Chains A and B, each alone.
Chain A
Amino acid sequence: MIKISHLKKEYPSATPLRDVNVEIHKGDVISIIGPSGTGKSTLIRCINMLETPTAGEIWVDGECITDKKCNINKIRQKMGMVFQSFNLFNHMNVIENIMAAPVDLLGKSKQEAYDKGIELLRTVGLADKAFNYPDVLSGGQKQRVAIARTLAMEPEIILLDEPTSALDPTMVGEVQAVIKDLAKKGLTLMIVTHEMRFAREIANRVFYMDDGGVYEDGTPEQIFDNPQRERTIRFIKHLKVFEKLITSKDFDFIGFNTELEEFGRRNQVPQKTIYRGGSVFEELVMQCLLPNLEKEFHLNIAFEYAQGTETLSMSLKYDGAHFDVRNTPNIVSLAIAENASESIEYTEMDADGFTNLVSVKIK
């Protein structure tokens, strides 16, 4: 139904979409999740051409909508859009808001548009508000009207960009229930949301967006229970990360410790745990690795704290010859590090210029 290939969107100061390649099938309900600023809104806005892509193609029902010759208004009618802010016309009552576009753009008679509008208001539970003006409605009611208005255009796909994030928490449920009904009816939906439970319940596919595109695409079970890629895992498990790249043997060790302690305080890492983390770092990196590395080196260190499971882990990546730090002749340092760890594992790797990987689970 929609095919996106090599989509790129560049702004002067940011390139949220570098290379997006996905296919959306009829009846798909797709939750789009990811950290803020990763191009979720940009993707949605490119799909209905509210933004002009910098490069790449988007095909809708066999038509290339990124082609200049394409009649974009005709395509837009196939796509409904629901925004965070409801964008209702305040000078029109509810039913007039819903009737306007079908009459103006689809050429429906007023009667036809009215009948359909009342029916839609019934499906979102607001038939009794047809003659009220938007300003007397609650946020949740406004958003349900906005959804009914979108449905009145009989779209084939509905794009929803954080439809509940401007709502008072007490109203999130009613709007989510309406969206769930749409999903059950077999409409094709793409929903940007940061409500993870909702994202999981409603969708048959989840796009995790990060690093310039759809970073991981899978079923809700795959993405939420068994994410495969590094950033997805971090996001899903709510990992707090403290990361540093070290390229000099006389880097600021004191400053590093201060920052590590601050990281621990900020994220409620038990003091004993952060103490052990610092100890493993000093023994493995300062005592065993740094003296062994070549003059020019890159060493990436990341501490990750999973607040859910209260576990701290440390990963070290470094370049140069393969060297398993556990083979260090410095047995005193190794003994201290091992005592502070559940496990220390080593793997030879070859990615991003790094050749060695040490993964430590701190006790």
Chain B
Amino acid sequence: MTIEKILDGTRLTVAIAGRLDTTTAPQLEAELKQSYDGTEKLVLDFAALEYLSSAGLRVLLAAQKVMNKQGEMVIRNVNETINEIFEVTGFVDILTIE
């Protein structure tokens, strides 16, 4: 997994590529923790995300909770396979997917 961050004022875009799974989820979690300060809009770009597991979902859920308090979070460019994961787990109702 690779993580790329672009900061534009209070808007942070995080592009995630590769696998977001049991092994890599903690990396994303740590990366996000350092970035919340001053962020009002968090955009997660999943265009290059190939695989998502429940471990990744948990990190997304935690991020959503943080952002609910200080602004908003949206997920972009979700492919069909990953969208299926959001649907069967009910995460479509919790996350904002554009």
Contacts and interface: CB of A to CB of B under 8 A. Distances in A.
Interface string B35-58: 000000000000000010111011
Contacts of A253: 21-23
A332 B57 CA distance: 9
Contacts, number: 44
Interface in A278-300: 278-279, 282-283, 286-287
B55 A336 contact: no
A327 B57 CA distance: 20
B24 to A, nearest CB: 9
A336 B88 contact: yes
A202 B22 CA distance: 53
A143 B57 CA distance: 66
B34 interface: no
A328 to B, nearest CB: 11
A321 interface: no
Contacts of B19: 257
B97 interface: no
A254 interface: yes
A284 to B, nearest CB: 11
A196 interface: no
A332 B87 CA distance: 11
- Interface size for chain A: under 10, 10 to 19, 20 to 34, or 35 or more residues? 10 to 19
B22 A339 contact: no
B49 to A, nearest CB: 13
Nearest to B50: A275
B22 A282 contact: yes
Contacts of B81: 272, 275
B85 interface: yes
Interface string A251-279: 00110010000000000000010010011
A336 B23 contact: no
Contacts of B21: 253, 257, 282
A48 interface: no
A314 to B, nearest CB: 16
B26 to A, nearest CB: 12
A286 B58 CA distance: 14
Given A336-B89, A339-B84, A339-B88, A287 B55 contact: yes
Nearest to A330: B54
Contacts of A254: 23
Interface in A309-363: 330, 332-333, 335-336, 338-339
B32 to A, nearest CB: 19
A159 to B, nearest CB: 54
B22 A335 contact: no
Nearest to B87: A339
Contacts of B58: 332
A271 to B, nearest CB: 10
Contacts of A257: 19, 21
Interface of B: 19, 21-23, 51, 53-55, 57-58, 81, 84-85, 88-90
21 contacts: A253-B22, A254-B23, A257-B19, A275-B51, A275-B81, A279-B51, A279-B53, A282-B22, A282-B55, A283-B53, A283-B54, A286-B53, A287-B22, A287-B53, A335-B89, A335-B90, A336-B53, A336-B54, A336-B85, A336-B88, A338-B88
Interface of A: 253-254, 257, 272, 275, 278-279, 282-283, 286-287, 330, 332-333, 335-336, 338-339
7 residue pairs, one from A and one from B, having the closest CB atoms:
A339-B88, A333-B54, A286-B22, A332-B54, A282-B53, A335-B89, A335-B88
Given A278-B51, A279-B51, A330-B54, 14 more contacts: A253-B21, A253-B23, A254-B23, A257-B21, A272-B81, A275-B51, A286-B55, A332-B54, A332-B58, A333-B54, A335-B89, A336-B53, A336-B89, A339-B84
